[in-house]
Structure 1
Amino acid sequence: MAATEGSKRTATAFSARGVGLGTAGLVFGGLGVGLATPILVYCGVFMLAVFMVSCIWMLLSVNTFITRFPYARREVVPHPLTAGVPGMVTVTIKSDGSRASRWRRAVTQSLDIREQAAAELTGGMGTKASVSRDETTLTLSYSLLPAKRGRWPLGPALVHSADPFGVLWSDTAVGDAEMIPVWPAVIDLSGTAGALMGLADRIVLGARTPSPDDASLRDYREGDDLRRVHWASSARRGTMLVRSDERAGRRPATVLMDLPREPAALEWAISASASIALSVLNSGHPVRILGAGLNPDVSRHLGEHGTEAGRAALLDQTVDLTSPVSQAAATNHIVRAARQASHDATHGEVIVAIVEPLDGDALDALVPIGDTGRAWALVRTTAATEQAARDTARALRRAGWRVATVATTSDLTSVWTTLLSSGDIE
């Protein structure tokens, strides 16, 4: 849930009727005086009187609202939002608690309130809001249907008022705009996590069989809790080691994410990576995501302090991810992440990679991970990159990876389940 309070800013303008009325009043009054025609003077004075009354009405109306309703609060539930999952916004504007006069009640009933929201939060459609009002509170409620991962502006609320003659109108901004985070859409793969982690425990023939300590230890990194240092293994190895998972049998996992440069493919890769990572997390195993925009030097496994906290932290990492600026940058990101994962894979970590067709440097960085027998990969393919994707999959298989090629239009659940059950698919 997010809430915000803010100040009020008012924009006032004359309507076309107001401009015409004021201009006509001056013209008629001037002509009446110049031509010594009383009827024209009376018409001009009447028009200007209406114009002035409208201005006074608007001044009192806006001042009444500002003084009577000084407090504004916005709540977004859930917070953050998730792409494709409806949310609800409630804007509450409360009065100062003073006794309402008949004039103030009349003004309150004439006010129209609405909220500004980015198209990415509404699915490109208008919002249907319900407004409730009483002597102390104005409440605006409407639903959102976020369509895209990211951070998108919401607000401020606008209270619209106009005089009875339609001469002036004003929009009073209530509260401040805020950036609402939207998590990526995810697919429920929780039924596959047990198969993934179970297969990882049955090390394939030829892979190094780690000791019980190895399966839960990794090198110390700056910021690690010293209470998690495994001193016996550190003394034996000659380097400081920490427990990567304090719960016995809870093997950690890493998801390597190679971000494409095409917007649609980018969202698919982030969604697929988050879905697989969450399935591991929901099964009780700690997990992390490495890739573009995520610094492997400060990465940590999530889920050690509770599944819900880990889920929120993992999805928060994906909100601001963007495509690499160039293919060279994308290669550098995946090489760096692969090297970090390769180091930890030798200590029993499960590795899952969601990658584009790879060049030589990226393949060279990923190949050593296959020796552990605990490496799975999804290689994204398109009509233009089909051969390159097959070449990448073939090279990874030769190195010991279990690999599937997959299109963004494929059913991820089906492809992932088949990969875990049969080992390799084209």
Structure 2
Amino acid sequence: MELTGRGKTLLAVSVVVGLTALAVGEGDLLRAAVLAAVAPLGGLLVLRWTRPSLESNRVLNPAQVEAGQATQVRLGIQNIGRSRPAALMLEDRIPYRLGNRPRLVLERLAPGARSVVNYTITPGSRGAYELGPLTVRTSDPFGLAVSVQEFPVTTELIVTPRIQPLRSLLLPGGAGMSSGESASHTVAITGNDDIAVREYRNGDDMRRVHWKASAHRGQLMVRREEQPWENNAAVLLDVRRGAHRGELSSFEWMVDAAASATVRLARDGIDPWLITAHRDFECRQGDYGQAMRYLATVAAAPEAPVAAMVEKAQRARSVSGIVAFLGHLTPEEAATLARLARRGGHCTALVVDPVRWIPKAASSRVDPREQVFAQQHGQALATLAGAGWQVIPVVAGTELRRVWTRLSAWRTLA
């Protein structure tokens, strides 16, 4: 409990007037000063006896939203004491990126009563935000003293990347649950040399024994049954800090793009596999929740080698295609990525060029280091294209939905 600015001013004025009254011998002025000083001190006493005992909780609906979408915050306050406090002022602490702190007024709560107030926030960027703690203030009737209670419990709000509307795509060859078709072959990026036969297993029909392969390998081998097309695709996200410049706006573009691609593929019945140098998520049967929670907080890292991302992709089961969102590449990093194309599969790279990401004025002086950087990047793209990758350059202002249908290994749904 403490005095408000009004209470402190009144008390200070009362003291000054009282001392002046004593100096000049004015009894009436002294009594007025004493009465004025009693008011703020009395406010403190009133709050001491009527300070409420409260309980609170906070519920988010929903607790995970997409950037640009609103969520409702519900604050529940219950008076568990015996006194009936004056009106309560509620202030919920929220990160500055979510806007101004909401301030709400709650009317007097009777003992045992419970009240609920709501406010809405619309986060504009992805991330994990802590809401709280909640501060509750109550004052005396004249606003001279205030009692402050803080509830330290916080609630986490997860804001996932903004999902761009993309057109549905079919897997190469027409496969995909959304098309209702299937193919009788698979394309593996793992580079399995034996795609026609396998080792004999107990119970296999002897009529399926492949005698030529058995003689060559020195053990019984059987023909593989035709396998349905696997509705899988890999989405690679480059999280290297050194692949971006400035405020990492190109990285944010890639995160939004990877999230949009993952959601689109999952909704089309294709199981996307999100891969970065540090983590990977298999989104089976349309469940991409964990991948979105990861993308909500993923940050560009100084140590995130392309080789680690490629290694994870090489451990993948068969996939029908790869969509990679990449930053600046060196020829050596491009050669590492080229291994995925050599092992089969349809590979498309959407590559942001940090040199050309923000266009410069024609009169701007060319930095020799930038020239070397750009030349290196161009050589890397040529290496990717030569290895069989489809390369789509991306600069600032590029809309994913406009380049999405350019994925040559995929077919756009009519």
Same fold, TM exceeding 0.5?
A: yes
1:390/1:200 CA distance change after superposition, 3 Å: farther
Q: Cα offset for 1:133?
A: 7.4
2:352 aligned partner: 380
Q: Does 1:54 align with 2:43?
A: yes
1:192 aligned partner: 168
Please state whether the residue corresponding to 1:419 is helix, strand or coil: coil
CA contact 1:133–1:139 (8 Å) conserved in 2 = no
Q: Which amino acid aligns with 1:301?
A: E
1:422/1:85 CA distance change after superposition, 3 Å: same
1:366/1:211 CA distance change after superposition, 3 Å: farther
Q: How far, CA to CA, are the matches of 1:355 and 1:192 in structure 2?
A: 22
Once the two structures are superposed, the pairs formed by residues 229-378 of structure 1 within 5 Å of their partners are 248-259=228-239, 260-261=243-244, 262-292=247-277, 294-295=278-279, 299-303=280-284, 306-307=285-286, 310-325=287-302, 329-330=303-304, 332=305, 334-344=306-316, 347-371=318-342, 372-378=344-350
2:73 aligned partner: 89
Once the two structures are superposed, the pairs formed by residues 107-122 of structure 1 within 5 Å of their partners are 107-108=85-86, 110-120=87-97, 122=98
Q: How far, CA to CA, are the matches of 2:189 and 2:387 in structure 1?
A: 24
Q: Cα offset for 1:32?
A: 4.2
Please state whether the residue corresponding to 1:344 is helix, strand or coil: coil
Q: How far, CA to CA, are the matches of 2:39 and 2:15 in structure 1?
A: 12
CA contact 1:77–1:89 (8 Å) conserved in 2 = yes
1:164 aligned partner: 141
1:289/1:276 CA distance change after superposition, 3 Å: same
1:215/1:232 CA distance change after superposition, 3 Å: farther
Q: How far, CA to CA, are the matches of 1:397 and 1:73 in structure 2?
A: 56
Q: Over alpha carbons, which structure has the higher Rg? A: 2
Give a deviation string over 1:295-343, Cα, whole Å, max 9, x none: 3xxx34221xx42xx2211101212211122xxx34x2x2211133135
Q: How far, CA to CA, are the matches of 2:105 and 2:17 in structure 1?
A: 45
Q: How far, CA to CA, are the matches of 2:108 and 2:43 in structure 1?
A: 25
Q: How far, CA to CA, are the matches of 1:300 and 1:354 in structure 2?
A: 16
1:393 aligned partner: 381
CA contact 1:90–1:142 (8 Å) conserved in 2 = yes
1:41 aligned partner: 30
Q: Cα offset for 1:58?
A: 2.5
Percent identity between matched residues is 20
Q: How far, CA to CA, are the matches of 2:70 and 2:199 in structure 1?
A: 49
1:130/1:285 CA distance change after superposition, 3 Å: farther
1:5 aligned partner: none
Q: How far, CA to CA, are the matches of 2:191 and 2:144 in structure 1?
A: 73
2:407 aligned partner: 419
Q: Which amino acid aligns with 2:254?
A: A
2:392 aligned partner: 404
Give a deviation string over 1:162-218, Cα, whole Å, max 9, x none: 2233322343223523332211111132x3332xx235869xxxxxxx985875999
1:23 aligned partner: 12
Please state whether the residue corresponding to 2:56 is helix, strand or coil: strand
1:301/1:365 CA distance change after superposition, 3 Å: same
1:7 aligned partner: none
CA contact 2:262–2:288 (8 Å) conserved in 1 = no
Q: Does 1:152 align with 2:123?
A: no
CA contact 2:186–2:228 (8 Å) conserved in 1 = no
CA contact 1:254–1:290 (8 Å) conserved in 2 = yes
Q: How many residues align?
A: 355
Q: Cα offset for 1:16?
A: 2.8
1:128/1:415 CA distance change after superposition, 3 Å: farther
Q: Does 1:142 align with 2:119?
A: yes
Q: Which amino acid aligns with 1:173?
A: E
Please state whether the residue corresponding to 2:12 is helix, strand or coil: helix
Q: Which runs of 5+ in 2 are unaligned?
A: 177-182, 193-197, 205-213, 218-226, 358-373
CA contact 2:135–2:151 (8 Å) conserved in 1 = yes
Q: Which amino acid aligns with 2:133?
A: P
CA RMSD of aligned residues (A): 3.6
1:281/1:53 CA distance change after superposition, 3 Å: same
CA contact 1:341–1:351 (8 Å) conserved in 2 = no
Please state whether the residue corresponding to 1:117 is helix, strand or coil: coil
Q: How far, CA to CA, are the matches of 2:391 and 2:331 in structure 1?
A: 17
Please state whether the residue corresponding to 1:415 is helix, strand or coil: helix
TM-score for both structures, normalised by structure 1: 0.72
Q: How far, CA to CA, are the matches of 1:167 and 1:232 in structure 2?
A: 89
Q: How far, CA to CA, are the matches of 1:89 and 1:126 in structure 2?
A: 12
